[in-house]
Amino acid sequence: MVKNDLIIRVAGEGGEGVISTGDFIAAACARAGLEIYTFKTFPAEVKGGYAMYQVRTSPDRIYNQGDTFDVFCAFNGEAYEVNKHLLKPGTAFVYDYPGGDFEPDAIPEGVFAYPIPMSKAAKEMKSYRSKNMVALGALSVLFNINETTLKQVLTKKFARKGEEILNFNLQAFEKGKELANALEKTDPWRVADATTPKDVIVIAGNDAAGMGALLGGLEFFSAYPITPATEIAKYVATHLPKLGGTLIQAEDEIASIAQVLGASYAGKRSMTATSGPGLALMSEMLGMASMSETPVMLVNVQRGGPSTGLPTKHEQSDLFLAIHGSHGDAPRIVLSVEDVKDCIDMTVDALNMAEEYQCPVILLSDGSLAFSTQTIPRPNPADYTIVKRKMWDGEGTYKRYELTADGISPMVDPGTPGGMHIATGLEHTETGAPSFKPEAHESMHAKRFSKIKPVVARYKPTEVDGEGEADVGIITWGSTIGVAREAVARLRDEGHKVKGFYPKLMWPMPVEQYEAFAATCKKILVPEVNYQGQLSHFIRAETSIKPIPYTICGGLPFTPAQMIAKVKEIL
């Protein structure tokens, strides 16, 4: 696979404008008609600590954040110390010198170094906060970041703060250009030239999940703020009231899921969003949703755990909790998203499935995807179907938990004539009356579990990446799928027989699809970002497959190079 993209990493201290610099670069590239995929990591502190933003841009589609950077811009000494081991021959290195807080060690041979006095220039302009604008101007000159679209982005950002603020930032930008123009460019790196702009939007995973909720007909949302899921609630809070819906910030996660159950019982399409600690607190109420067959949708944006763990870092370690996180046997549907577009489409799917199957549906995202921005086609609301819950037709005696052929019983809105029934967390008969008889518990358990079995056949089949026989098959989930796509393509280009299998319906598990894929592969590798190999566990438990687990859990996602190296080791 020929490299046809550029990866720029900007790093420094939180509060120096590292994140906004990355945002500006990404937005400018998108406006220039290029594809982007961003990755950012920032500290748990309110201000200060190491922050990093990486932009990958290309004329072609991008599936992940890439292996490592081609261009590195260090705002301070800590950023340099964290990343200097990645400065390899061929990389370009832009750093704050003279006038910064560090002087780099001897520049490794083959590294293209560009000292830019960002701090000094900003101080001379009487505003240290303009340091990132100086850096942005320098980067635009050195690496062909489209100046027209960059200035459009900056104008959009700062014009609302007044003409004086806008002009000041543009002056700092021009200063950075001047400093870079005084240097001789010696590296080969440049952002691809602008192409015809496409009808796309640039959006992060969390905002996309919020957009998906609105496209899916959401009427009620309750949540308690938690990193890294809060932006979903912020997006919904901005737009749901315009559509006549209601959002509540609850006092804690338990209250939020309880309010969602109450609103759903009242007939509203309802959901919440949280991360691992919040999902743990919600487990009892999710059990009640299973028992009372109340539609509930929940987005869980995974982060490093357990406990407070790594609140701002990436991990895929809530699969056990999502599938089996309840007391008793409590069925639910679990989905997992790959990319930003999935965050829109599968949020709609999850809301529909909750309504159709009258059970909890958990949609798993992760800390990397939550803040990653990508270019995606502009969504068309007409492309999305809204599935409504089965409702009682008013005929005969109403039985809330009637034993039907498909296991799904009709619901009623409170106050419906003739629709009075008991709705509690107790086991019950068909009418909802509490019952502790063995036959009642067994028949209702069978009902609750049988109704979600058709999901496997009715949901979109798991994607198989490749044809024929393979020496190694890669099964992975979540945002790690994007890394696997590139790894598989690069390995095939080298002549290796490799295939991919990318499940998004995590539970109920499409066992026959797993088995069919594995039958075409000599060995199965399962990369995932957790310590225990959680998907590998379910594969071993539910199928005859004997996977090779491959796990990392350092707070960062896989790179294609890591996955390629592991496959070659197996081969």
Residue 184 DSSP class? P
Confidence at residue 172, expressed as pLDDT on a 0 to 100 scale: 95
- 8 Å CB contact between 26 and 8: no
Q: Biggest alpha carbon distance in the chain?
A: 85
Confidence at residue 52, expressed as pLDDT on a 0 to 100 scale: 94
The tokens for 188 are 């080969």
Q: How far apart are CA 484 and CA 491, in angstroms?
A: 10
Q: What sign does the CA torsion over 265, 266, 270, 274 have?
A: negative
Confidence at residue 126, expressed as pLDDT on a 0 to 100 scale: 81
Structural domains of the chain, with CATH: 6-181 (3.40.920.10), 202-383 (3.40.50.970), 392-457 (no CATH), 460-570 (3.40.50.920)
Of 227, 207, 202, 228, residue with least CA distance to 23: 202
The tokens for 121 are 């220039």
Please spell the DSSP secondary structure of 479-533, one letter per residue.
THHHHHHHHHHHHHHTT--EEEEE--EEES--HHHHHHHHTTEEEEEEEESSSS-
How confident is the model over 158-203, as pLDDT tens digits? 988 888 899 999 999 999 999 999 999 999 999 999 888 888 999 9
Confidence at residue 1, expressed as pLDDT on a 0 to 100 scale: 37
Confidence at residue 29, expressed as pLDDT on a 0 to 100 scale: 95
Confidence at residue 500, expressed as pLDDT on a 0 to 100 scale: 98
Q: How far apart are CA 267 and CA 262, in angstroms?
A: 9
Q: How far apart are CA 365 and CA 301, in angstroms?
A: 5
How confident is the model over 103-154, as pLDDT tens digits? 998 899 999 999 999 999 999 988 778 999 999 999 999 999 999 999 999 9
How confident is the model over 68-83, as pLDDT tens digits? 999 999 999 999 999 9
Q: What strands, in cross-sheet order, belong to the sheet with 220-223? A: 246-249, 220-223, 270-274, 296-302, 360-366, 333-336, 505-507
Q: What sign does the CA torsion over 298, 299, 304, 310 have?
A: negative
Residue numbers in the chain where pLDDT is lower than 50 = 1-2
Q: How many CB atoms lie within 10 A of CB 442?
A: 11
**Distances, alpha carbon 561 to alpha carbons 308, 357, 473, in Å:** 30, 41, 17
How confident is the model over 494-539, as pLDDT tens digits? 999 999 999 999 999 999 999 999 999 999 999 999 999 999 999 9
- Dihedral (Cα; 561, 566, 567, 571), 10-degree rounding: 130
